[in-house]
Structure 1
Amino acid sequence: IGATDVCPFVPVSNVTMDECVLIARTLGKEVGEWLGIPVYLYGAAAILPERHILSDIRKGEYEGLPEKLKDEKWRPDYGPNEFNENVRRTGATVIGAREFLIAYNVNLHTQDIQIANKISGIVRASGVVQINEKGEKVRVPGLLKCVQAMGVYLKEHNITQVSINLLNYKVTPPHVAFEEVKRQAGKFGVRVTGSEVVGLIPKDALLAAGRFYSNELSEKQLIAAAVEKLGLSQLNKFIPEKKVVEYMLGLD
């Protein structure tokens, strides 16, 4: 919705979510007052509950901002409530605090995108819209909390994936998502062949998977077990030193 679309603060190490909320709100106030940019707070930093979800704030995008700013319901948390010349140049920005988002894809041994889409609808938190016996549209929630998902086809590998955003891996960790997708895929007669992490992943998420699949004790062994059981190297070799956020930041 603006030149700086979103600025999230994520607790990684030696910082709490409450501290990230304070930082986000402090920055939001300064950006709004000093730079004259409309600021919306989201995630854990949201003041209004209806602004918790980023996509809800983004609706209408930059093009819809002039009308949004006229709506009292969408008065910015900080900054101007008008589409003036400065806002025309900068747009608005969304600042907040959230858990580490893991982009995580589960590989299906099928080229049928409809199966990938159906599984996605079953597992994602928002679920699917169905028609009830009265002919009314109703939303049926999905099985996994804090999960977004959609089916995608990978032409280069000739497979489909359930492409997942784990919005809070402490609520739904990767291994839970993996096992549920595998369970649902089995109902369609489809095998899960592995998975991949796009970008970085917190060490805790891998250790939790390692403990789920293995009785090993050392950190290195637990991570190795997670990589093996989740099939993280099926498409591209998973190198912990380049994929675990704490290792990349030199925190361990």
Structure 2
Amino acid sequence: MTNQIIECVPNFSEGVDREIISRITDEIALVDGVKLLNVDPGKDANRTVVTFAGEPAAVIEAAFSAIKMAGELIDMQTQKGTHPRMGATDVCPLIPVSNITLDETGEYALQLARKVGQELQIPVYLYEHSQTNAKRNNLAAIRAGEYEGFFKKIKLPAWQPDFGPAEMDAKRGATVIGARDFLIAYNINLNTSSVTVANEIAQQVRETGKIIIGENGKERIPGALKYVKAIGWYMEEYKKAQVSMNLTNIAVTPIHQVFDEVQAKADALGVKVTGSELIGMIPLKAMKDAGQYFLQKQGITYITSEEKLIAAAIEAMGLNELAPFNPRQRIIEYLI
């Protein structure tokens, strides 16, 4: 039987101290049966997105060791950053890659969540496919109030953790674990420092849209893109605002559609998109489809070379604007 492969993409609430980041990722690299694929720290977000993959049992072992080390090294009492967060290991998703179903991956997520809650005594919340309660399967809903608000939130009957103590850990915070489909974390850069403008674009494109006050009271106006979560923020490191997004179903809403939609909304508000930034990794098909799409917009329909399609996607979406984009290091199939 061909080996089962799952991917794990933990987000740690440290994006500045390279020694801390290395000590956490070293825990992953030491485990036989897993491959550390990508480490993507963000200074202003003060967050590092780590990607690794391997056979399920090894992935669970590596994830547990990394969560344990992050709890020892990161102090949430002093941690600050632009990205919403609630714990040293803020979220730890497991994603099916090869010869394994989402349901089977969910069993491993439960195993990890139970182990973290019982052995490390960290409050753990299940999310996405692993959470049966529809009112608390969305990461944004779970994390609302963030670290500072969780000391009260965790005491509410509706927000008791799924595993671990019903007491907020002052140093380590709380952690969210679950199985989900592949997600792309993607930021689009604007030629403005205005968070207001970036937030307005985010509200116009994200699936949940925005709430307005009308004649009949509060009314939600849906956004343009299904399976897209978005916020606007300012990145001091880059001196510009970004529309920061999670694309949770790229089969329905591919990355090239997201780029075009944000660009259209920005143009309507009198600002320009200057490029974009991929956080973590992306499937090969998503890059090839984007390249095909942007070449067809230019009237070019005869390109079939994988390398040229990827180059076209990088150029059209400005993925090289903030840092060099190396497909061999960012496309998941090239590394697994």
TM-score tier (shorter): 0.7 to 0.9
Of 116, 141, 153, the residue aligned with 2:222 is 141
Q: 1:35 to 1:110 in 2, by over 3 A?
A: closer
Name 1:198's counterpart in structure 2: 279
SS at match of 1:99: coil
Residue-by-residue CA offset, 1:117-175 (whole Å, 9 max, x unaligned)? 322221122212211024x2322221112222233345665544322222333332211
Preserved CA contact (<8 Å) 2:123 2:167? no
TM-score scaled by length of structure 2: 0.62
> Does 1 or 2 have the higher relative contact order (CA < 8 Å, sep 6+)?
1
Amino acid at match of 2:179: A
Q: 1:175 to 1:30 in 2, by over 3 A?
A: same
- CA-based RMSD of the aligned residues comes to 3.1
Residue-by-residue CA offset, 1:83-102 (whole Å, 9 max, x unaligned)? 49xx7786643220123332
Amino acid at match of 2:215: E
SS at match of 2:292: helix
Higher-Rg member (1/2): 1
Q: Number of residue pairs matched?
A: 245
Of 176, 180, 185, the residue aligned with 1:98 is 180
Of 175, 192, 213, the residue aligned with 1:131 is 213
SS at match of 1:190: coil
In the alignment, the residues of structure 2 paired with residue 35 and residue 237 of structure 1 have an alpha-carbon distance, to the nearest angstrom, of: 38
Of 246, 257, 276, the residue aligned with 1:165 is 246
Amino acid at match of 1:121: Q
Between 114-123 and 30-39, report the one with greater CA deviation: 30-39
Amino acid at match of 2:183: L
Residue-by-residue CA offset, 1:209-229 (whole Å, 9 max, x unaligned)? 123223422322221121122
Shift of the alpha carbon at 1:239?
1.4
Name 1:235's counterpart in structure 2: 322
SS at match of 2:127: strand
Unaligned runs of at least 5 residues, structure 2: 1-85, 296-300
Matches within 5 A, 1:104-123: 104-123=186-205
Q: 1:158 to 1:17 in 2, by over 3 A?
A: same
Q: Structure 1 vs Structure 2: percent identity of aligned residues?
A: 49
SS at match of 1:197: strand
SS at match of 2:96: coil
Q: 1:203 to 1:111 in 2, by over 3 A?
A: same
TM-score scaled by length of structure 1: 0.79
SS at match of 1:27: helix
Preserved CA contact (<8 Å) 2:192 2:240? yes
Between 100-109 and 171-180, report the one with greater CA deviation: 100-109
Amino acid at match of 2:132: I
Shift of the alpha carbon at 1:179?
0.7
Unaligned runs of at least 5 residues, structure 1: none
Name 2:21's counterpart in structure 1: none
In the alignment, the residues of structure 2 paired with residue 145 and residue 175 of structure 1 have an alpha-carbon distance, to the nearest angstrom, of: 14
Q: 1:16 to 1:226 in 2, by over 3 A?
A: farther
In the alignment, the residues of structure 2 paired with residue 189 and residue 176 of structure 1 have an alpha-carbon distance, to the nearest angstrom, of: 20
